[in-house]
Amino acid sequence: MKYLLLIPDGMADWRIEELGNKTPLEVADTPNMDFLAKEGACGIAETVPKGYEPGSDIANLTILGVDVRKYYTGRGPIEALAKGIRGKIVFRCNLVYVENGIMVDYSARRIEDEEAKEVIDALNEAVEYDFVKFHHGTSYRNLVTIDREFDENVKTTPPHDIQGEPIAKYLPKNGELANLLIELMEISKKVVPEVTRKANMVWIWGGGKMPKFPNFERRWGVRGVMISEVDLLKGIGRGLGLEVVDVPGVTGYIDTNYKGLAKAVLKSLKRRDFVVLHTEGIDEIGHEGDAEKKVEAISIYDEKIVGYIIDRIDLEETRIMLLPDHPTPVRVKTHVAEPVPFLIYGLKRDDVRKFDEFSCRKGMFGLINGLKLMDIMFAR
């Protein structure tokens, strides 16, 4: 038996008046996901434990059976795993655009990799602390390492959570480390605009010490592959001992290399028993707050990822689980900690005929703790 886990980041949403009081997933053309739901079984899953922010790190770790209350240290260090970067403390470092003290764009207007690297190089030249280093990642997504011990736990805020908000009230808080981060952000206001017009400062958040995750193969008895467009999921994959497969031409947006991603899944399923495909584009559209575009993005995903794959695999020998990691409602342009719909094909069947947030509530699994998803996936 082969096992395929599909995670379209941020696909779940709320019903929207301009869509006839339906969610983008309800409106989108999704014959392939609907087929899997009709021939499989459904439910809804809580992927964000109570008391945690609904970040993709928390949600995807939960989906993969990792109890974040025991193992989570921060988003930055997980992304560092993907790059082979190590530091005593690692933070995510977004290139952002702020105007009149308001967070206008958390993604530096989708800055190109080469330009982003020039910004990171300039920051490293400008910062005089020998224990601070900026690291280029992908586009606006970068890292900063702090090779010095700090006692306090600094409080930071993801920039995609504060679009349209004054940044002053969301600056890092709690002690000497917070003051250092604010100082680095202030330095960046002078450096970044000299290199690019797309960004004018950095926003530092999601820090922590390097994590130690449980080994996926030892726990579940399968050798697996992680395929993703973003360092966060690649870091989770490496931390769990999964093989990480890079796909050229991916963008983390809806103009990504869909065929390359789908082909990487097919190729990986021939070599390994378990494959995860995480895609980012739908989530990015949710952050933009564009309902019609999210409908389009979901329809594209159904055709170019789900449809392409299921037309080319042995469905009788493949178990498929599909779910978003968290909702990213276009109305609020950020993640929310609400249950997400899931389907599993190749195990049991129920009466659900369509894959969406409301149909799946009627599925045989009902509401489950997200930590149980891998138990369902590998059930005998």
User: Using 50, 70 and 90 to split pLDDT, how confident is the model at 111?
Assistant: very high
SS3 (DSSP) at 375: helix
Nearest to 61 by CA among 112, 115, 7: 7
Nearest Cα residue to 140 out of 220, 54, 205: 205
Neighbours of 249 (CB within 10 A): 12
pLDDT at 255: 95
Q: At residue 153, does pLDDT exceed 90? A: no
> Does residue 135 have a pLDDT over 90?
yes
| 152 pLDDT tier (thresholds 50, 70, 90) | confident
| Mean pLDDT computed over 134-154 | 92
How far does Cα 289 stand from its chain's mean position? 17
Strand, coil or helix: what is 102?
strand
Percent of the chain predicted with pLDDT > 90? 98
pLDDT of residue 380: 87
Phi-psi region of 74 (alpha: psi -120 to 50; beta: other; left: phi over 0): left
Confidence class of residue 265 from pLDDT cuts 50, 70 and 90?
very high
326 neighbors 59 (Cβ within 8 angstroms): yes
Tens of pLDDT along 224-244?
Answer: 999 999 999 999 999 999 999
In terms of Cβ atoms closer than 10 Å to its own Cβ (0-12, 13-18, 19+), residue 143 is buried
Which residue shows structure tokens 């209350």?
69
Does residue 138 contact residue 95 with C-beta atoms inside 8 Å?
no
**Rounded Cα gap, residues 102 and 100, in angstroms:** 6
Residue 196 near residue 118 (C-beta atoms within 8 A): yes
Give me 69's structure tokens: 């209350």
Helices (H), the chain: 24-27, 31-39, 56-63, 68-71, 75-83, 113-126, 176-191, 216-220, 231-240, 258-271, 281-288, 291-301, 308-310, 373-377
Report pLDDT for 294.
Answer: 98
* CATH code assigned to 79-208: 3.30.70
pLDDT, tens digit (0-9, with 9 covering 90-100), for 275-334 = 999 999 999 999 999 999 999 999 999 999 999 999 999 999 999 999 999 999 999 999
C-alpha 253 chain-centroid distance:
12
Percent of the chain with pLDDT over 70: 100
What does the pLDDT look like over 341-362, one tens digit per residue?
A: 999 999 999 999 999 999 999 9
Q: What is the pTM of this model?
A: 0.88
Q: 191 with 126: CB under 8 angstroms?
A: yes
Domain boundaries, the chain: 2-72+212-377, 79-208
Q: Residue 182 above 90 pLDDT?
A: yes
Per residue in 1-36, pLDDT (tens digit) is: 999 999 999 999 999 999 999 999 999 999 999 999
Helix (H, G, I), strand (E, B) or coil at 353: coil
pLDDT band at 91 (very low <50, low <70, confident <90, very high): very high
CATH for 2-72+212-377, options being 1.10.30.50, 3.40.50.300, 3.40.720.10, 1.10.1740.10: 3.40.720.10
**Side-chain-side CA neighbours of residue 48 (13 Å):** 18
The DSSP call for residue 22 is B
